[in-house]
Amino acid sequence: MRTDGETGQLQIPQVAPWGYGQMSPLGRRAKRALDIVLSLIGLAILSPLFAVVAVLIKLDSPGPVFFRQRRVGLGGRLFRIYKFRTMVQGAYQMGSRLTVKRDPRITRLGKFLRWSKIDELPQLINVLKGEMSFVGPRPEDPYFVQFYRGEQQQVLSVPPGIFGPSQIHGRDEEDEYPDGLKDTEAYYLEHILPAKLQRDLDYIRNATFWSELKFLLGGVWATVRGAFRARYLWQRRRRIALLGIDVGTAVGAYLLALAIRFDWHVPDADYVPQTLLLIVLLRPAAAVYFGVYQSVLRYFGLWDFIAVFKAVTTSSLLVAALTYFLGMQSHPRSVFVIDWALVLLAWGGVRGALRTYLRAAPRSRKQRMRALIVGTGLGGEQLCRAMIEEPFAAYTPVGFIDEVPDRWGARIHGVKVLGGIAELPLALSAKRIDSVFVCLSDLTEDVSREAIEVCARAQVPCRIVPALNQLLQPAATQPKTVSAQPQVVAAN
C-alpha cells in the first residue's frame, strides 16, 4: 500500500470527497455545524469523566492514557484516531490488529471501558478537528483499506463517523468471531468487512440531514441498550446476582453500623442518604476493579478473599474521604470502621456459604473405596481435598500416615493422622483399606520405599503420587516417570 509522502493520502483512485447521494450542500454544512456544537458540548460536560478515567488508566496499568492509531479518513487521508487505552502497552506489536473475545491483551479496566463504550469518547476530539463526524462509516485501519475493491472505495468519499449503520448493527464486533478462531484477520476480511462496507454504501446512497439525526439517536440508543442486552445479562446472571447481594449487604451494613454507633437508632441526618449513594456507587466499582466477580465461587479461597479485602478497604477509604471533602465533617468516623468490618464479614461470609453450597453437590451413590494417604505435606493435603470435594471420586480418605510426630492425632480436612510408618500395617487392617496413596513429594526415599513394601506384604494396592515440586523447578523439562508397581521405588 503506497501513500503520498507529503500529504499522507492513500493512493486510491476515483474517490471524490463528499459523495453523499441525496444530501444537499446546505445539509452538509448543517451536518458539520452540528458536529462542532455537539462535540464542544460533549467535551465540556464529559471533562470530569475524562479526568477520572485518565487517573484510573494510570493506576491500572503502565502506559499512556490515550491510544492513538492511524485510520483512513475522508478521501483516503490518514489521521490519528483517539481512544482511551484499553490494552497493554505495545499490544499491536504482540499479535493481530483485531481484538477478539477474551483477548488477553485487554487490561482489567479496559474490559469495562470497552463494554460501556467509554473508550470511544475521546473521538469527540476527532469530530471537533473535522477528521470525523458523529455519523458516518467507521474509520478503518490502513492495512484493511488496501483490500477495498471497486465500489467499496466509495466509503472513503464521506467523513468517517462515531455512529453509523455498521456501528449500530455491530456494536460488539468481537461476538461475531467463532470461538477457537486462529486467523482473525482472514475471517474479518472474508466475512465481516464485506458486510460492513455494503451497509455503509447503502447509507451513503440514501443519506440526508434527517437520516443523519436518525442514525445519531439510533447509535446512542444502541450503545446504551447493547451494554444491557439480554444475552449478555443472561450469560453473567450469577455475577449480576452476586453484585446485587453485595450492594444490598453494603447498604445494610452501613445502616447497621449507624445503629450500633447511635445505640440502635439510625439518625435522621442529611449525610445518611448522601453516604448511601457513595456506597452504592463505590463498593461495586471497587469490587469490579479488583476482580472480585471473576473468582469461581466453588473454589473461593485465600487469594479471592484478599481481592474482597482490597475492594472493601479501598471503597471504605474513598467513602470516608469523600464524605469529608464534600462537607459532611459531622459524620462519625467510627461508623466507617464498623461498616468496613461488617461489609468484609458479610461479603466473605456470603461467598463462603455459596462455596459450601456448591461443593455439596449430589454425589455418586456408588460405594467408594477406602483410601489411606501416606504423607501429610502439600501433596497429601491436595489429594485428600480432591477426594472429598469431587462428587464422583472413586475413593474416600479414611486416614493419613506420616513420619512427623507433631502431626500424629491431628486432622486434615477432618481426616485423622493415624501415626507413622510403624502404624501402617495395623491401619491397613483396622481401617479396611482398599488402596494406599504414597505421596512422593511429602516423604523421604526411605519412607516411600518402606510404605510400598508394607503394602506389598499386606497385598493392598499401592498408588504412587508423583512429586509436583519437580514440575515447579525452572530446570525441569518433563516430569520424571514413576512406576506404579509397589516393588519399584521411585526416587523423589
pLDDT digits (tens, 9 = 90+) for 9-21: 555 444 556 666 6
Helix (H/G/I), strand (E/B), else coil: 68: strand
For residue 80, which of 30, 132, 35, 115 has the smallest C-alpha distance?
Answer: 132
Centre a 10 Å sphere on the Cβ of residue 410 and count the other Cβ atoms it contains. 13
Q: What angle do CA 324, 327, 332 make, to 5 degrees?
A: 50
pLDDT at 484 over 80: no
Q: Which runs of E-coded beta strand occur in 108-152?
A: 133-135
pLDDT at 73 over 80: yes
Mean pLDDT of the chain: 84
Name the pLDDT band for 265 (thresholds 50, 70, 90): confident
Chain centre distance of CA 312: 19
pLDDT at 23 over 60: yes
pLDDT at 289 over 50: yes
pLDDT in tens, 388-422: 888 788 899 999 999 999 999 999 999 999 999 99
What are the residues whose beta carbons fall under 8 Å from the beta carbon of 422, sequence distance 6 or more?
none
Helix (H/G/I), strand (E/B), else coil: 365: coil
For residue 348, which of 315, 311, 308, 316 has the smallest C-alpha distance?
Answer: 308
Q: What pLDDT score was predicted for residue 488?
A: 38
Q: What pLDDT score was predicted for residue 14?
A: 46
Separation of alpha carbons 395 and 386, rounded Å: 10
Within 13 Å, how many C-alpha atoms sit on residue 404's CB side?
Answer: 12
Average of pLDDT values for 459-465? 92
pLDDT at 486 over 90: no
pLDDT in tens, 171-197: 667 767 777 677 888 888 888 889 889
Name the pLDDT band for 203 (thresholds 50, 70, 90): confident
Average of pLDDT values for 360-387? 84
Min mean pLDDT across 137-141, 149-153, 272-276, 484-488 is at 484-488
Task: Please tell me which of 21-25, 128-132, 324-328 the model is most confident about, judged by mean pLDDT.
Answer: 128-132
Of the two residues 491 and 363, the one the predictor is more confident about is 363
Task: Give me the long-range contacts of 207-213 (CB less than 8 A, separation at least 24).
Answer: 207/20, 207/21, 207/22, 207/23, 207/158, 208/22, 208/23, 208/27, 209/23, 209/24, 209/27, 209/30, 209/31, 212/23, 212/31, 212/34, 212/134, 212/135
Average of pLDDT values for 221-244? 75
For the chain, domains (ranges, CATH) are 25-232 (no CATH), 236-359 (no CATH), 369-469 (3.40.50.720)
Q: What pLDDT score was predicted for residue 16?
A: 55
Name the pLDDT band for 437 (thresholds 50, 70, 90): very high
Q: What pLDDT score was predicted for residue 361?
A: 59
What are the residue ranges of helices labelled H in 182-263? 184-187, 193-205, 209-227, 230-235, 237-261
Q: What pLDDT score was predicted for residue 283?
A: 94
Q: What percent of the chain has pLDDT over 90?
A: 46
pLDDT in tens, 42-53: 999 999 999 999
Name the pLDDT band for 131 (thresholds 50, 70, 90): very high
pLDDT in tens, 334-345: 999 999 999 999
Number of H helices and E strands in the chain, helices first, is 16, 10
Q: What percent of the chain has pLDDT over 70?
A: 85
Q: What pLDDT score was predicted for residue 442?
A: 85
pTM: 0.64
Q: What pLDDT score was predicted for residue 239?
A: 86
Separation of alpha carbons 453 and 465, rounded Å: 16
Q: What pLDDT score was predicted for residue 472?
A: 64
Average of pLDDT values for 344-354? 94
Of the two residues 115 and 1, the one the predictor is more confident about is 115
Of the two residues 320 and 225, the one the predictor is more confident about is 320
Separation of alpha carbons 226 and 199, rounded Å: 19
Using the 8-state DSSP alphabet, how is residue 106 labeled? B
Please state whether 208 falls in left (phi above 0), alpha (psi between -120 and 50) or beta. beta
Average of pLDDT values for 381-393? 87
Q: What pLDDT score was predicted for residue 5?
A: 47
Q: What pLDDT score was predicted for residue 183?
A: 82
pLDDT at 485 over 80: no
Name the pLDDT band for 89 (thresholds 50, 70, 90): confident
Q: What pLDDT score was predicted for residue 15?
A: 58
pLDDT at 221 over 90: no
Separation of alpha carbons 217 and 62, rounded Å: 36
Chain centre distance of CA 421: 47
